[in-house]
Structure formats: structure tokens, C-alpha cells
Copies of this chain bind each other. A is one copy, B any other.
Amino acid sequence: MRRVVLALEAFDPACELERFSHASQSAGGIVSFLGQVRQEDGDPVEALELRHYEPLTLPGMEALVRRAEGHWPLASVMAIHRVGVMVPGDPIVLVACAARHRRDAFAAADFLMDHLKSSAWFWKREKTAQGWRWVEPRDQDHADLTRWNAVP
């Protein structure tokens, strides 16, 4: 199973993961990552918006998933990424990798997340009491990518 989605509306991670695990019963292990908008007491962020560039964003996600499939023996892969306006508690991104050996599933999910965070075509802005503000790229994200230089 391969499922790559650019979600324009809210999605249900529990439901997605349940379908994924049913479709992956030949794999021994499934690693998933769920990113959600943080909800902290006193956090000034009221909302978050992710923008994309239609001609590149989904094709880029699909190429990334194929790159992971080419490097690790995966039984199934799923990558779902929200765009649009979200509020604290909303799911942003869900990645799942199913493999016979759990080390492969861990590495592939880690790889996918590093790239979705640092090289996929998304732009993020946050809303506080002062209004909307674009988020600057973090140097850490680019450092993360160098971990995967050996993956063709």
C-alpha cells in the first residue's frame, strides 16, 4: 500500500492508521509519526497556516516516498500532510511505514519526517495576538537532512 495525500481539510489520524495497519498485516512492524499543532497553556499561538505550491508540493511528496521505498524494504508507506488553517490540537502530518524489520520502518519514517519538515514545499505562518507572522526556516532542519546523504 502506498498512500500520499495533501489534505485540504482535517483528517483523522486514528482512522488512517487503523486502515494502514489492516493493509499491512504482512509486515511485522509499523512506525508512525503524528505531528499536531501544539496546545500549551499560555502559548500565544492561536492558529497556524500551511501554504503549498500546487504544481510542486504533492509531486515532491510522492518523489520523497518513492525515494524511501527505493532505499528501505517497506511493505507499505503513508504520508498525509495538511495545508490550510489549523488550530491547536489539529493534526498536521501523519507518516507511517510498515516493514518486516522494525529498524527499516523506524529509519524510513525518520527520513520522511526530516524531509517533509525541511525540504518539502510548505510555508508556515502563525497567528498570535499580534496577527499573522511567517515562520523562518530553522538551521536545525537543514542539519537534519545531512543525516540522509547516503540515501540516493
Contact = CB atoms under 8 A, between A and B. Distances in A.
Give the oligomeric copy count.
Answer: 2
A28 interface: yes
A10 B60 CA distance: 39
Interface residues of A, number: 34
A103 B102 CA distance: 17
Contacts of A38: 25-28, 100
Nearest to A16: B14
Given A18-B14, A89-B25, A106-B106, A33 B35 contact: no
A31 B31 contact: yes
Interface in A49-77: none
A28 B28 CA distance: 27
Given A18-B14, A106-B106, A106-B110, A29 B25 contact: no
B29 A33 contact: yes
Contacts of A78: none
B34 A29 contact: yes
A39 interface: yes
A44 to B, nearest CB: 14
A30 B39 contact: no
What are the 4 closest A-B residue pairs judged by CB atoms, nearest first? A14-B18, A25-B39, A30-B34, A26-B40
Given A25-B88, A31-B32, 16 more contacts: A13-B17, A14-B18, A21-B34, A25-B39, A27-B38, A29-B34, A30-B32, A30-B36, A31-B31, A31-B33, A32-B34, A33-B102, A102-B113, A106-B106, A106-B109, A106-B110
